[in-house]
Amino acid sequence: MSALEPKKKLVYAILEFLNDSIKDGTIRSDDQESMEVAMQCISESFSVEWSADSPNSSLSVKPSSLLSIFEVFLKTQQKIASTPVDSSSSRPAQSTSQTNKSGEAESLKAAGNQLVSQRQFSAAIEKYTEAIQLDPTNPVYYSNRAAAQSQLGAHNEAIDDALKALEVDPGFAKAYSRLGHGYFSSGQYEKAVEAYEKGLELEPDNATIRNSLATAKSKVKTSSSLNTTGNPPGSSNSTRGAMPGMGGPGGMPDLASLMNNPMMAQMAQSLMANGGMERMMQNPMVQQMMSSLGGAGGGGGMPDLSQLMNDPAARELASSLMGGLGGSAPGAPGAGPNNQNPQA
């Protein structure tokens, strides 16, 4: 069947309909001549041979007619209109409902951000949680909640939220920043480095992540150095967190480790250079310790260093020395406002 044949059949059916309308009186007798002229024009325009006396059986739809075919179409259309709407037809309504939920979730997020700016972190967490319940597919809500958790010191919860944000969107660099901060704050420095590196891969120009990565790497290096010169296996837990090399029993210094510690060597050089050694030797507690060293022969008469550090003067001296050597513990990278402000 050629592409023109259906059109010619339709034109022929129209001509038959008009001819039948002339015969049954639908068209008034005064208009019959005009209609016949119109039919002739239609026939010539579509190159359809028409003759009321000799029908073309190849184009005719008889015994059907154009009118009967159209009536079937109208009935079918009515049945379709009266058929109950199926589940697929409800999708636009569902889409509208989801849009409303997303809008409400955004409002809750904005409220949470406002609470964070007011340092009401617990209340902010509640708002972010409500937003997540409405739209669990938005990684920003998890990331913002992680920031609020970090502000409360709930670093494990912050890590969990950062990981959830990355499950939703593995390409969300801010979530890697939150994850790195959580790991760093909980002392997992190597994992923090990994998280910051992945975030920097996604956003190479992000200065906050770059600076946080540098701090985390420095902490890993420092921790490795301290582990090398720190407490020997089996040392008492009471010495953990103390100055490396101070792992001897009963607060007594392990002199071998102490003298091999680069930090202690640097401290000794500083003491000699700025007159601190003379000041220290004038301290009664230090004099007592040195006296015990000379008389005890390395026995149990050596004073406990914790007792020495209870002396305000000794404490002040040690604090000034450690401050000059950079011994104060740095804050977690990215803990400032730029990193912990919620995502807008």
Domain-terminating residue out of 228, 262, 282: 228
Q: Which residue has the higher pLDDT, 194 or 12?
A: 194
CB atoms within 10 A of CB 21: 14
Whether the CB-CB separation of 116 and 97 falls below 8 Å is answered with no
pLDDT of residue 242: 41
Indicate if 216 and 138 belong to the same structural domain: yes
Average pLDDT, the chain: 76
Which CATH number characterizes residue 180's domain? 1.25.40.10
Which residues neighbour 29 within 8 Å (Cβ) at sequence distance 6 or greater?
Answer: none
Let me know: does 116 contact 147? Beta carbons within 8 Å: yes
Q: List the Cα angle 118/122/124 in 5-degree steps.
A: 60
Report residue 317 CA to chain centroid gap. Answer: 47
pLDDT tens digits along 250-291: 444 455 555 556 666 666 666 666 566 666 666 665 666 566
Mean pLDDT, rounded, for 200-211: 94
Instruction: Give the separation between CA 179 and CA 193, rounded to whole angstroms.
Output: 10
Query: How would residue 48 be classed by pLDDT, with cut points 50, 70 and 90?
Result: confident
Q: What is the mean pLDDT of residues 151-172?
A: 96
Q: Over 50: is that where the pLDDT of 296 sits?
A: no
User: How many CA atoms does the CB half-sphere of 35 hold within 13 Å?
Assistant: 18
338 falls within a domain: no
Q: What is the pTM of this model?
A: 0.46
Per the structure, the count of domains in the chain is 3
Are 123 and 173 in a shared domain? yes
Question: Is 87 among the domain residues?
Answer: no
Do 255 and 183 share a domain, yes or no? no
Other CB atoms within 10 Å distance of the CB of residue 205: 7
- Would you say residue 134 lies in a domain? yes
In a domain, 147, yes or no: yes
Let me know whether 140 and 64 are in one domain. Answer: no
- pLDDT for the residue numbered 8: 85
- 301 vs 123, 231, 250, 315, CA distance in Å? 56, 22, 10, 22
- Residue 171 is assigned to a structural domain of this protein: yes
Q: What is the span of the domain harbouring residue 116?
A: 101-228
73/139 same-domain check: no
